A and B are shown apart, each in its own frame.
Chain A
Amino acid sequence: MDENGKKYWLDKPGSVTLVYRAVWVVCALLAVAEFFYAQHPVFEFESFPVFYGLFGFIVCVGLVLGAKELRKILKRAEDYYDR
């Protein structure tokens, strides 16, 4: 509920969970979709089942966790250069 009385769907309890579950469902559908068309892999590893999906998931988790580790080395106070 906003101060001007407008209600937002995203503010409702459960909405975010619904979005979260929808992402899972879409991913599952896309993984299944792979078996319904002819693939033309250029590289051999592309024919691994759900290669693109798994690759995307793994590198993104790696990216975020890697960046989190980097923060330990690189993070300074906001006014680091102004001092």
Chain B
Amino acid sequence: MIADLPPGLILILGALAIPFIPAGLRRYYMLALPALGLLQLLLLPTGMQGQIEMFGHTLTFVRVDGLAKAFGIIFLLAAFISVIYGWHEEEALQHVAALVYAGAAIGAVFVGDLISLFIFWELTAIASVFLIWARRTERAYWAGMRYLVVQIGSGVILLAGVVLHYRATGSIAFEHLGVVSLGTTLIFIAFGIKCAFPLLHNWLQDSYPEATVFGTVVLSVFTTKLAVYALARGYAGTEMLIWIGALMSAFPIFYAVIENDLRRVLAYSLNNQLGFMVVGIGIGTELAINGTVAHAFTHILYKALLFMSMGAVLYRVGTIKGSELGGLYKSMPMTAGFCIVGAASISAFPLFSGFVSKSLILTAAAGEGHWLVWLVLLFASAGVFHHSGIKIPFFAFFARDSGKRCEEAPTSMLIAMGITAALCIGIGVWPTGLYRILPFPVDFVPYTTAHVITQLQLLMFSALAFSVLLRTGLYPPELRSTNLDSDWLYRRLFPALLRFIGDMVAQIHYRSLLRAQVRLHRFIATVYRHHGPQGALARTWPTGSTVLWVAVLLCATLFFYYL
């Protein structure tokens, strides 16, 4: 019975009951939902269950294997932590949205066919947008609209791809697809949009920083990692992904360096971390896929931790702009400490979680001889330390003292950050636990002298570069600004183009109308000339001439009669 229940359904259905539960009990109830989900997941037997016949298709809602299980566990764990983080949030709407969203993402991970995938794919989009709108600002409203258009668009493209794929192969099974036909290419693009591929990426940096304190943390977990899962399932070993991933890991960090909104800096670094995972999928070996899954797992935790700490700052100070913050370690020492743990984890310091997961991907890239990609990833590793590892804690908690004084973060937030920080360090110190839940057997030792020393060298020299640039005044200051990114295309260029085309059409319409009017007037004038009061055809003739004409006609008749 429990095996037929789609994982995620507990969260989705459970979430719908939240508004009807007394406020005092509500939080404990919400905490129980992901805990129950986790219990159900651990009881699920491997294989296909929960199949339903619908419209002549077999929909599979429960397919359990190593890949799905690893993503299921981390999604549920993240949902659990985010409930604690959102303890202060009174509004039921956000909690419903967050848990339906989490449930949909978990549901999507366990489906065995593309139609069910589409259903959950769209549900994640619809549920999650409320986390942005809940900020209730004009900016958030429009950012949410853009987010929704992109996400629903991704779903529509997915559906088109599924239909074409079904027409071509007669199968809706969600197995390895590969970019082989128009259908699978469309599915690839749909996944790519949600995975924030280069130039399809900007919805992420546009929308996540506009969501609520609680919402951004939840958003950072699911959508993009669901896409990583879907790519790993359908497109492992697609070589194109190696290059896409390398590009993704490198270019967002330039933006991260000059971005002022610290939550947006994190959104750029999220994009960069996705690049590592996408490279792993592109390589497609067992080691690389393990690396991708492990990195998704650790990434969800440390990225959520970083977003939680920045959320706490926003919650207490009311702004998250680097140009206005600084010196907050005096007011929020614990938040600062947790932020540094997150920063050390994302930077892959030895004994922190990123170290044991990222190295799988780098080793896989080196093992397959991709030296250029390996160098790009090494650059991205140094870069991520630079902007996420140093910049985030430095400009928020240290740098020059902004004079801002506030309370430490609420206890619930501190507990959520504490649990996540403990997990980040725990995985870093004891990676075997993480390696056990990876889809393939792991034969990898992260802690070798060479690996530790080389990684420390890379990081400390990057820190040196930061310090030197800061001391010499070469480091670009945090400035209040907007940096143009690909969203400029659809927020400025396309509307401008549309306006231009609209103007052109209006002009042409106006001119042709004018010309038609002139012709009409001329025609009317001609008719008037002939038929008007003075027209030859409308003239009245005297009776005499009529009599004359009658006489002429009679004569003619007489003449013809006698002929």
Contacts and interface: CB of A to CB of B under 8 A. Distances in A.
Given A38-B450, A57-B461, A70 B254 contact: yes
B511 interface: no
Interface string A30-52: 11011001111011000000111
A79 B260 CA distance: 13
Nearest to B379: A59
Contact of B450 (A3, A37, A79): A37
A31 B458 CA distance: 10
Contact of A61 (B374, B460, B469): B469
A27 B464 CA distance: 8
A57 B465 CA distance: 5
A64 B442 CA distance: 37
Contact of A60 (B367, B462, B483): B462
With most chain B CB atoms within 10 A of its CB, the pick from A59, A65, A74, A80 is: A59
B408 to A, nearest CB: 13
Contacts of B463: 23
B169 interface: no
B481 A77 contact: yes
Contact of B483 (A33, A52, A76): A76
B356 interface: no
Interface string B448-481: 0110011111111111111111010011100111
B339 interface: no
Nearest to B481: A75
> Is the interface on chain B under 10, 10 to 19, 20 to 34, or 35 or more residues?
35 or more
Interface in A1-45: 2-3, 6, 8, 10-11, 20, 23-24, 26-27, 30-31, 33-34, 37-40, 42-43
A60 B386 contact: yes
A65 B485 CA distance: 19
In the A-B complex, the 9 residue pairs with the closest CB atoms: A60-B465, A67-B257, A56-B461, A53-B457, A53-B461, A52-B457, A56-B458, A57-B461, A42-B366
Contact of B467 (A11, A20, A34, A71): A20
A37 to B, nearest CB: 4
Given A34-B457, A64-B469, A10 B386 contact: no
Contact of B460 (A27, A68, A75): A27
Given A33-B453, A39-B450, A68-B476, A80 B482 contact: yes
Contacts of B479: 75
Nearest to A70: B254
Given A59-B379, A81-B482, A27 B461 contact: yes
Contacts of A82: 138-139
Given A43-B366, A52-B461, A2 B330 contact: yes
A83 B474 CA distance: 32
B253 A63 contact: yes
Given A63-B253, A67-B476, A76 B481 contact: yes
B293 interface: no
B258 interface: yes
Given A57-B464, A61-B468, A66-B254, 20 more contacts: A2-B330, A3-B405, A26-B460, A30-B457, A37-B450, A38-B450, A52-B455, A52-B461, A53-B461, A55-B379, A55-B458, A56-B460, A59-B378, A59-B382, A64-B257, A67-B254, A67-B255, A75-B258, A76-B483, A80-B482
Interface in B376-405: 378-379, 382-383, 386, 398, 401, 405
Interface residues of A, number: 50
A71 B483 contact: yes
A63 B254 contact: yes
B95 to A, nearest CB: 30
Given A10-B398, A40-B450, A67-B258, A20 B491 contact: no
A74 B457 contact: no
B227 to A, nearest CB: 26
A68 B329 CA distance: 28
A61 B329 CA distance: 27
Contacts of A50: 457
Contact of A31 (B138, B457, B484): B457
B471 A20 contact: yes
B494 interface: no
B463 to A, nearest CB: 6
B28 interface: no
Contact of A23 (B374, B378, B464, B482): B464
Contacts of A68: 258, 474, 476
- Among A24, A33, A63, the one with the most B-chain Cβ atoms within 10 Å of its Cβ is A63
A27 B463 CA distance: 9
A24 to B, nearest CB: 7
B462 A76 contact: no
Interface in B134-158: 138-139
B135 to A, nearest CB: 15
B330 to A, nearest CB: 6
A82 B374 CA distance: 41
A34 B452 CA distance: 11
B460 A30 contact: yes
Contacts of B475: 64
B444 interface: no
A53 B458 contact: yes
- Most A CB atoms within 10 A — which of B255, B329, B476? B476
Contacts of A6: 330
A64 B461 contact: no
A67 B115 CA distance: 43
